[in-house]
Amino acid sequence: MNKRVMGFAAFGAAAALMLTACGGDGGEGGGGGGNGASFDQGSTEIVNPSDATGGTLRYAISSNMESTDPGNTYYGYVWNFSRYYARTLLTYAAAPGQAGTELVPDLAAEMPEVNDDGTEWTVKLQEGLKYEDGSEIVAEDVKYAIARSNFGDQALPNGPKYFQQLLDEDDYDGPYGGDDPLEGFDAIETPDDHTLVFHLKEPFADFLYVLAQPQTAPVPADADKGEQYQSRVVSSGPYKFEDDYTPGNGLVLVRNEEWDPDTDPIRTALPDRITVEEGVDQNEIDQRLVNGELDVDLAGTGLGPAMKGQLVGDEDARNNLDNPTTGAHFYVNINTKVEPLDNLACRQAVQYAVGREGIQRAYGGDLGGQIATQVLPPDIPGADPELDLYEAASGKPNADKAKEKLEECGHPDGFDVNIGVRSDRPAEVDAVEAIQQSLAEVGINAQVKGYPSDTYTNTQAGSPDFVAENKLGLTYYGWMADWPSGYGYMSSILDGDAIKEAGNSNISELDDPEINKLFDEVISVEDPEEQARIYAEIDRLVMENAAILPGVFQKSVIYRPDNLTNVFFNPSWHMYDYMTLGTTETE
Amino acid sequence: MTAPLDAPESAQHAEPEAIARGRRDTESRSLTQIAWRRLRQDRVALGGGAFVALLILVAVFAPLLTAWFGHPPNQFHQDLIDPATQGVLKDPDDPWSGIDPTGGMSAEHLLGLEPVNGRDLFSRIVYGARISLLVAFLSTLLCVVIGTVLGIVAGYLGGWVDTVISRAMDIFLAFPLLLFAIALAGVIPDDAFGLSDNALRIAVLVFIIGFFSWPYIGRIVRGQTLSLREREFVEAARSMGAGTGYILFREILPNLVAPILVYATLLIPTNILFEAALSFLGVGVNPPTPTWGGMLSESLAYYTVAPHFVIIPGLAIFVTVLAFNLFGDGLRDAFDPRSSD
């Protein structure tokens, strides 16, 4: 599973509301919250809209920040937060709901242009943009930033390496070697100070999403200190570091007067100061959020179990909660090679036999996850929530249909199968135990095999040889995407060409010619609606193949303090959009 | 934990001295008889021993016990659980009744229920005792066997043999055991050595724990052997032409039984904790088989809604380890004649 927490908006809002008769209707003024907001309102609309500036916006996080360096991070919260001081070529629109998954120009003057064969992308920068020291932001600084985070042995370790995989560049070994840091780096051209031309090895449909990564935030070469650059990132956004940052000591941002709001489509820059406290215990963060002594839990993953348990049962407190999806889909791979699951009817029998309610319970019922009936999470274009080939939406098993299918596949009394799971993840173990009981009802005897999560994705479930030797017909798994597109989400787990010897993510070893062909085709399709149609088609084919047993789309429970203004959940980040937040707290 | 380093040495002194003083009334008692007399007077140790015996009975008759109480260890009781908080409801008929702080303890479910799926905790604790004790006993047996053989050989032969074995002990003691365990669990397939599934997992646990704990016993046995080999009865045997094997296992080994027994008793609780640690790291037996360590590791995710789920397996481990330790301590005192009679 990809490390970064990203995903898609709050489709589950409606389901969550059914839990209680008094949770409000998702509209204005639903309940008894301090300012008239209602349960889960922030998932779909802006709560406490405001353009009042001033005050101090207070963040806290239970660990240290992964890094403050936009070039050295793979955590969604840093991608979201670093935009305060690091503008990227493109970014996501500041809007709730699916509108928030749309890409908009940030440093760029307009959306990039691509040549006919899809291998050459041209990006124009806005002119006159300045760093905090008043010097101008030029195209070469963006190129340098991409070089330091992607190329050579000393490339910054934390972030993904998409540019390195995609750019048509063979022999460039990073900026830290010779005298001229960009010597030999030809895959990105900078014909003038405001133009970047990217040359790709082959067409890549989702390249625009790659351009929205924080790695595209400009870094002046003479300010770069490798990993130490995080101590003072040269700001291109509305805020700059007040003092040098030392990991563990927290971060204070103050206004950057060189930033011009007219050039910026997404940042409201309401607070005067922004503070981040690091290493605060999760329970303390939650308590201080409730007390109004803190505005945002920076990690964006929601309340810890203690406070969550306390608040979800409290009718008044619920109005301060949002319950969006996290973008993670937890599902079971049904291997298409292991007997007897190489037989389609046997796979379908498993689909019918498993009641999804048992899986949902492991994540905390309706608040913890929404029952999935297809592969694509609900807010990725192409996701079709109506797609439910195995009548899974009810959450109940369908034993009669399962037995019919068992008959059809020649195992009327059931069969033996192994199911792999990460045994140090309690929720996953609980889910698998529920699946085991469901399967036993129709005579399918599933033997649970537990493995350490450290090695699971690489050596056990991630190795087709291991899966074959140990007859791991079923494997419990979870998946999140780096960006909200069907290709980004599905290609590694469903494309037959993506099957690998180790670290394999297409664990069901689905190698369907029709699906593979669609993946090849969609790369050169430009029309988003046509793309979405193809993703929906792939999803349907996968479900017809019964290669994935959808489980739940995970949801988090986030506390939204009354003092926070302009709050909404952005499905691209899977957390509140930090760039628009304001506070009534003036400290 | 301290080792009963010198118990039998002084025991060997005891009898000749007694003879020299002419206290013939004690002459007829063997070391074991003396020890047993002492042990009988040590109520704390006896209590520990009784608890251990009870535990073994519970483990052996686990199916009878759970059948009597009517809840198989893997049976779900989801109707008693609140899906949102995952804790046990105060009133199963009212989904808004809140979490029962006792975790659903009642006459029906003596120790309450697990969160999420609502399995009966009493049944799981009873069944968990089987795995925990089995792994602890077998692994202790393994390290006693390896440790005794290598320790006695090293101590008696000395020279380069001693050097090699002693350095091997140092290496084993310095080995990063938990990392090794995780790596091994990743390498060993699910069918190997003619075993499969949980039998194999248990064998691997026993192997890991036993194979890396033997130097503790080995060092003690070696130390004892070093002094024993200089004794008259060994020299006598040697002068009468006894072979090395005979001397090692017929002359020296019987004199080592007491410290080995004592130390093994003290090693068992360490190994119970070890099994818990390995289960905690995800390299234990497969779910849904209950083990104390596995339950403890799962419970931490739910400690706020089900504190009893943390406390009960923790308490089971704690009390068992304590009982073994008390019994082991008593045994050591009993075998050590220097302690007051």
DSSP letters for A290-344: HHTS-SEETT-S---HHHHHHHHT-TTGGGGEE--EEEEEEEEEE-SSSTTTTSH
Q: Are A490 and A535 in contact (CB under 8 A)?
A: yes
Q: With 70 as the cut, is the pLDDT of residue A29 above it? A: no
What was the pLDDT predicted at B337? 55
What was the pLDDT predicted at B82? 82
What was the pLDDT predicted at A9? 29
Lowest mean pLDDT among A335-344, B63-72, B76-85, B189-198: B189-198
Write the residue in A305, A422, A436 that is nearest to B288 by C-beta: A436
User: Binning pLDDT at 50, 70 and 90, where does residue A17 land?
Assistant: very low
> How many CA atoms are closer than 13 Å to the CA of A7, on its beta-carbon side?
29
User: Does residue B40 lie in a domain region?
Assistant: no
What was the pLDDT predicted at A8? 30
User: Does residue B26 lie in a domain region?
Assistant: no
* Cβ contact, residue pair B116, A361, below 8 Å: yes
Q: With 90 as the cut, is the pLDDT of residue A314 above it? A: no
* Cβ contact, residue pair B182, A455, below 8 Å: yes
Select the highest-mean-pLDDT range: A138-147, A170-179, B205-214: A138-147
CATH label of the domain that carries residue B201:
1.10.3720.10
* Cβ contact, residue pair B98, A306, below 8 Å: no
Q: With 60 as the cut, is the pLDDT of residue B120 above it? A: yes
> Tens of pLDDT along A40-53?
999 889 999 999 99
Nearest CA in chain A to B99: A309
- Residue numbers in A near B84 (CB within 8 A): 19, 312-313, 364-368
User: Does residue B149 lie in a domain region?
Assistant: yes
Which whole number is the average pLDDT over A404-417? 93
Q: How far, rounded to the nearest angstrom, does the alpha carbon of residue A252 sit from its chain's CA centroid?
A: 26
Q: How far apart are CA B35 and CA A57, in angstroms?
A: 72
ipTM above 0.95, yes or no: no
- DSSP per-residue string spanning B156-176: HH-HHHHHHHHHHHHHHHHS-
Residues A309, A314, A316: CA angle, nearest 5 degrees: 140
Q: How many other CB atoms are found less than 10 A from the CB of residue A74?
A: 19
Nearest CA in chain A to B181: A452
Q: How far apart are CA A63 and CA A80, in angstroms?
A: 17
Q: How far apart are CA A311 and CA A298, in angstroms?
A: 20
Closest CA to A377 of A425, A330, A323: A330
Q: With 80 as the cut, is the pLDDT of residue A30 above it? A: no
- Residue numbers in A near B81 (CB within 8 A): 361
Burial class (CB in 10 A: 0-12, 13-18, 19+), A104: middle
What was the pLDDT predicted at A484? 85
Which of A19, A396, A429, A475 to mutate against chain B (most B CBs within 10 Å)? A429
Q: With 60 as the cut, is the pLDDT of residue B3 above it? A: no
Tell me which residue range forms the domain holding B122: 50-335
Q: What is the mean pLDDT of chain A?
A: 88
User: Does residue B200 lie in a domain region?
Assistant: yes
A window 332-371, beta carbon within 8 A of B:
358, 360-362, 364-368
> Tens of pLDDT along A265-309?
899 999 999 999 999 988 899 999 999 999 999 998 888 877 887
> Tens of pLDDT along A356-403?
999 999 998 888 999 999 999 987 888 888 899 998 898 899 999 999
What was the pLDDT predicted at A6? 33
User: Does residue B15 lie in a domain region?
Assistant: no
> Tens of pLDDT along B39-65?
888 889 899 999 999 999 999 998 998
Contacts of residue A188, defined as CB under 8 A and 6 or more positions apart, other chains included, come to: A143, A146, A167, A196, A197, A198, A199
What was the pLDDT predicted at A7? 32
Q: How far apart are CA B237 and CA B251, in angstroms?
A: 8
pLDDT, greater one: A315 or A143 = A143
- Residue numbers in B near A423 (CB within 8 A): 282-284, 286-287, 294
pLDDT, greater one: A240 or A206 = A240
Closest CA to A362 of A271, A454, A433, A427: A427
User: Does residue B325 lie in a domain region?
Assistant: yes
Residue B185 C-alpha, separation from nearest chain A C-alpha, in angstroms? 7
User: Binning pLDDT at 50, 70 and 90, where does residue B72 land?
Assistant: confident
What was the pLDDT predicted at B262? 84
User: Does residue B21 lie in a domain region?
Assistant: no
Contacts of residue A430, defined as CB under 8 A and 6 or more positions apart, other chains included, come to: A361, A362, B116, B117
> Tens of pLDDT along B281-328?
767 788 888 888 888 888 887 888 888 999 999 999 899 989 988 988
Q: Is B192 helix (H, G, I), strand (E, B) or coil?
A: strand
What was the pLDDT predicted at B338? 57
Nearest CA in chain B to A311: B85
Q: What are the angstrom distances between the C-alpha of B182 and each of A142, A269, B284?
A: 43, 48, 10
**Percent of residues, chain A, with pLDDT higher than 70:** 94
Which whole number is the average pLDDT over A442-447? 93
Which of A19, A39, A423, A438 to mutate against chain B (most B CBs within 10 Å)? A423
Residue A454 C-alpha, separation from nearest chain B C-alpha, in angstroms? 9
Write the residue in A313, A426, A434 that is nearest to B98 by C-beta: A313
Q: Which domains does chain A have, with CATH numbers?
A: 2-274+560-583 (3.40.190.10), 325-555 (3.10.105.10)
User: Does residue B118 lie in a domain region?
Assistant: yes
Element (H, E) at A196: strand A195-199
Q: What is the mean pLDDT of chain B?
A: 82
Which whole number is the average pLDDT over A499-504? 85
A453 touches chain B (CB under 8 A): yes
pLDDT, greater one: A374 or B200 = A374
> Tens of pLDDT along A241-264?
999 999 999 999 999 999 999 999
Which of B278, B304, B309, B310 to mutate against chain A (most A CBs within 10 Å)? B304
Q: How far apart are CA A572 and CA A116, in angstroms?
A: 28
Give this prediction's pTM.
0.79
Which of A22, A417, A424 to mutate against chain B (most B CBs within 10 Å)? A424
Number of domains in chain B: 1
A427 touches chain B (CB under 8 A): yes
What was the pLDDT predicted at A137? 95
Closest CA to A8 of A566, A442, A555: A555
- Residue numbers in B near A448 (CB within 8 A): 286-288
Tokens of residue A472, six digits? 């791991």
